[in-house]
Structure 1
Amino acid sequence: MGESCAPAGGVAAAATDTVGATAAEGLAASWPARVRGLAGWLVNKTAVHSHRLTAEAFTAVGGRRFHYALLASLEEFGSSSQADLGRHCGFDRSDVATMVNELVQAGHVERAQDPADRRRNIIAITPAGRSRLADFDVVAADLQDVFLAPLDTEERAELISLLTRVLEHHTALHGFAREPHPGA
């Protein structure tokens, strides 16, 4: 069973709909009435585009989305254990070591044994990591402009506020859902 419920012509066909609907209205109208008004359905369908755009944008500069999250966390919160780094970014602790290895190999972070607890590693951002983070900030800003193109500044802020509120509500009830190790 395929993921898409779009007509055979996809978005292009929806864009030329004879009733004058926009591409988005044509696509949404092709979905069953029971699902097209469900926020969860729309969030999931939108997330597919967000993940694709994010992977493409970071891959184009030789990075990955989790590189950005980890470097941003280290810049904002300072050096931390791998476990804390995973918590700050919402990544599963078991995946963080692999993610950090990539950044260590690139010279963007340093891993050192915690002198207070020899079982822990402390991760610190390097000057090269700070420079890479600045490059990633540009990628992320451009990415947001592409992803949120149909929204004006106020609508973007409102969307972020509403999504944050929903996420915080469910996180308080169920804990933070960890992301699987992201491939890009």
Structure 2
Amino acid sequence: MAGAARLRRLPTRLLSLAATESDRRVNEKLALIGARRWHYAVLATLDEFGPESQAELSSRTGIYRSDVVAVINELAERGFVERTPDRADRRRNLITLTEPGQQQLYTLDRLLAEVEDEVLAPLTAAQRDQLAQLLTVLVNHHGRQM
């Protein structure tokens, strides 16, 4: 049974429903391999920007500083990242992506691409690009620069 017409036309509600479904599927797939979305954020950031301090990782990923330590601990325990003293400032550590971390990132890339294909299955490639562009405009407008 379809919901009320005004609900079907309300973009914020539709966005929320789509995001909820997307989050559910992403979290389920990541859980199958013992990963979390913040793991991916840290690994992808290190891959793109190279070694970073915990504070820099927090800023780039949007993970709270207090939480980024726990994420880095989880990744370090699995051998995906290493902590080394920063030569320029011995009071801080640099977090570096390891070879096993790079392999995990590739695994996560493939897994998330599968989820994206499932979630966005009814859209053409052009529609997917347009959706990504529109969502980027919204995210940037609300202060979460990507």
Q: Aligned with 2:93: secondary structure?
A: strand
SS in 2 for 1:118: coil
Q: Match of 2:87?
A: 115
Match of 2:130 in 1: 158
Q: CA RMSD in A?
A: 1.6
Query: Residue in 2 aligned with 1:137?
Result: 109
Q: 2:22 aligns with which of 42, 45, 50?
A: 50
TM-score, L = length of structure 1: 0.74
Of residues 95, 118, 121, the one that matches 1:149 is 121
Give the deviation of 1:60 after TM superposition.
1.2
Consecutive unaligned residues in structure 1, runs of 5 or more? 1-13, 15-25, 178-184
Match of 2:31 among 59, 73, 82: 59
The alpha-carbon distance between structure 1 residues 44 and 114, as it changes in their structure 2 partners (threshold 3 A), is: same
Deviations 1:2-29 (A, max 9, x none): xxxxxxxxxxxx3xxxxxxxxxxx2xxx
Q: Which amino acid aligns with 1:44?
A: S
List per-residue Cα deviations over 1:13-69 (Å, max 9, x = no partner): x3xxxxxxxxxxx2xxx1462x44232222122111111101111111221111111
What does residue 73 of structure 1 align with?
45
Percent of pairs identical after alignment? 41
Where 1:163 maps in the other structure, the secondary structure is helix
Unmatched runs of 5 consecutive residues or more in structure 2: none
- Comparing 112-121 with 46-55, greater Cα deviation is found at 112-121
Task: Call closer, same or farther: CA 1:31–1:114 in 2, change over 3 Å.
Answer: farther
More helix by share: 2
Is the partner of 1:116 in helix, strand or coil? coil
Give 1 or 2 for the bigger CA radius of gyration: 1
Secondary structure at 2:118 match in 1: helix
